[in-house]
Amino acid sequence: MKYDESIDCKGLECPMPIVHITKTIAKMDKGQRLHAEVTDPSFTEDLTVWAKRHAYTVVELTEENQVVNVVIEK
């Protein structure tokens, strides 16, 4: 999948993955996509609430070997 930015949030605990994603996506244009890798177990639940609040679209969400890969469209 194509994305415009990518960040590594592995090893960060709540709320830091969402903080890093928020800072990065704020610099992006509408329609651009951000990819993030996260290991925090509560991230998926936090992501759902955060994306809805900001009207972002979660385009892809997968988990493999305890790493969540997410692509978010601004």
- Which residues are known catalytic residues? 14
- Phi/psi at 42 (nearest 5 deg)? -90, 5
Residues 6+ apart with CB under 8 A from 32: 4, 5, 73, 74
List residues bridging with 33 in a β-sheet.
73
